[in-house]
Structures are given as structure tokens and as C-alpha cells.
DNA sequence: CAAGATGTGTAGTATGTTCTACGCACTATA
DNA sequence: TATAGTGCGTAGAACATACTACACATCTTG
């Protein structure tokens, strides 16, 4: 797990202007200790909690869902959607597993356009 | 959280033949201590881990996804499906949120029938 | 009425998660 | 060449999760 979260964050951070995106500055804006961020980026420490990942994503302009996935997690709001209709959504997800992205995108459009 | 998991399990268990579904017997077959199951059913203790919930579901003939939802959890295999394509599936789930069940069921059929 | 079965109370443990605090050596800057 | 900034190392804390072990009073059954 977390095979890539840390290094990915590091790479994304270092791709930004060094001055404003030093490890210390980013840690400061995210609200965690620099040593903690350092360990996370090097994979010495497992990824942080969801809230912290969300703030990192915002700071680096990354997709929170993707970052959470790299951390082996799933956003709490998605979990809630599943828990509200477990049987139905579970079936949907298991059906969607392995289906080509095109078909899923199409289904999304259909569900959205059908309701208003 | 777990507003109903414990009491629900108790009710389901007590709806079964008492002899074979005493708290001790069920706990035994599930592989946990009776006192632990007792506390869980009375809501004194939060719901157990996913593995244990799965075994309880199997034992009582309940839908694991529903039981997990009552416990405030989501099955690990569903989480994996999301993590494999986070952006796409996240969009699907957020679109599906609030949509009528009929439309979702229809989408499921379409995705399944479209591929083979 | 003895023997076993029932549910429960109390106490404690092992492990994981999510961080903080502080100091150090190196490097770039002024 | 002081000064400030950089990333990293070490230590540990606070809290949550997921349980086990055992004893006890009551209740049923043979």
C-alpha cells in the first residue's frame, strides 16, 4: 500500500516554483510539521489522514480522489453515498468493475441527463 | 454511528431457531467471544471489523453490504474498485447520488448487457 | 435439584493511525 | 562569513480499533 503516494506528492511539489513550495512552506500551509511531510514524501511514514490529504491536494492542485486512491483511501463523502443505498450501489460498482471507461462515462451522462 | 447495527443483529439472530442461534453458539461459529458479541448487539461496543461482520452476515443469512453499511463501513472489494479508477468512479458515484433507484438499475443493466 | 447453558460485567491487551516537538547537518544568500 | 533556510533523524504521544479472558448470576433441562 501507499506504493506511490509519497514520491508522487514529492514530485508534484518539486514541479512547482521552489521558493513557494519548499517542504517547510507547504507543510506550514497544510498545517502539519515539516518533518512529518518529509517522512510521508519519502514513504517512511504511511500517508496522512483524509483531511490532510485533501489539504495537500488543494495546495498542489491535484485531484483529491486520485491522491486519496494513491493513499489507499476513499473520500468520506463517497463512502456515505454507498452507505445510503448499500445493496444498489454495491451492485452498480461490481458491475462497473472491468467495464470499459467509455461505457461508464456514457452511463454517467445518461443518469445525469435523465434527471433534472 | 452504528445507530442500529447491534440491535439489528440481535433482532435477526433472535428471529432464528433459539437452539442453534444462541448468542454463545453464534459467537462460537463466528469465531469471537460471547461477551464481545453481547456488547456489540447491545451497542455497548462499536461494530466489529469487516471480516467479523462478513462472518456474522453469512451466519445470519444477511446481505454483507447492508450489514457493513449499518456498521458505517464499506466492503474492501468495493473500495478497491474505486481506487483502481478514482476519478471516473468518483464521478459516477456523485452523479448517482440522489438519482432514483430505477435509473440506477437501468444503468446497471445497460453496462452489463453492453459488454460480454 | 444438580448440571449445564444463557447472557452479561469487568478488566485488560495488541496493534494501528495520525500526528507533534525538537534538534542537527548542509546549503544558499546577503 | 554570519544568517536564514533546507530537508532529515529521533523520540514519543494521544487516540482509536478490534478484540480476549474470565467470572458471575440467572435460567432451563434432565
Residue A38 is predicted with a pLDDT of 98
Q: Is the CB of B29 under 7 A from strand C?
A: no
Q: pLDDT (tens digit, 0 to 9) for every residue of chain B, 116 residues total?
A: 446 999 999 999 999 999 999 999 999 999 999 999 999 999 999 999 999 999 999 999 999 999 999 999 999 999 999 999 999 999 999 999 989 999 999 999 999 987 55
Query: Rounded mean pLDDT of chain A?
Result: 95
Residue B3 is predicted with a pLDDT of 60
Contact criterion met (CB < 8 Å) for B87 and A66? yes
Please list, in sequence order, all residues whose beta carbon lies within 8 angstroms of the beta carbon of residue A110, skipping any fewer than 6 positions away: B107, B110
For testing contact with chain A, the best of B82, B94, B105, B110 (most A CBs within 10 A): B82
Burial label for A56, CB within 10 Å (0-12, 13-18, 19+), is buried
Q: B-chain residues within 8 Å CB-CB of A86? A: 63, 65-66, 68-69, 74
Q: What is the pTM of this model?
A: 0.92
Q: Secondary structure of A14-31 in the HEC alphabet?
A: HCCCCCCCCHHHHHHHHC
Residue B114 is predicted with a pLDDT of 77
pLDDT in tens, A13-34: 999 999 999 999 999 999 999 9
Please list, in sequence order, all residues whose beta carbon lies within 8 angstroms of the beta carbon of residue A67, skipping any fewer than 6 positions away: A5, A8, A9, A53, A56, A57
For testing contact with chain A, the best of B53, B86, B110 (most A CBs within 10 A): B86
Q: Is the CB of A48 under 7 A from strand C?
A: yes
State the Cα–Cα distance between residues A59 and B113, nearest whole angstrom: 42
Residue A115 is predicted with a pLDDT of 52
Residue B1 is predicted with a pLDDT of 46
Amino acid at each position: 500500500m501507499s506504493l506511490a503516494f509519497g514520491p508522487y506528492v514529492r514530485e508534484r511539489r518539486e514541479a512547482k516554483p521552489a521558493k513557494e513550495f519548499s517542504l517547510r512552506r507547504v507543510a506550514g500551509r497544510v498545517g502539519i510539521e515539516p518533518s512529518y511531510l518529509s517522512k510521508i514524501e519519502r514513504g517512511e511514514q504511511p500517508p496522512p489522514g483524509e483531511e490532510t490529504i485533501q489539504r495537500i491536494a488543494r495546495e498542489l492542485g491535484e485531484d483529491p480522489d486520485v491522491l486519496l486512491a494513491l493513499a489507499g483511501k476513499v473520500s468520506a463523502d463517497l463512502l456515505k453515498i454507498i452507505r445510503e443505498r448499500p445493496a444498489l450501489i454495491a451492485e452498480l460498482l461490481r458491475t462497473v468493475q472491468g467495464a470499459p471507461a467509455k461505457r461508464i462515462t456514457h452511463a454517467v451522462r445518461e443518469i445525469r441527463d435523465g434527471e433534472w
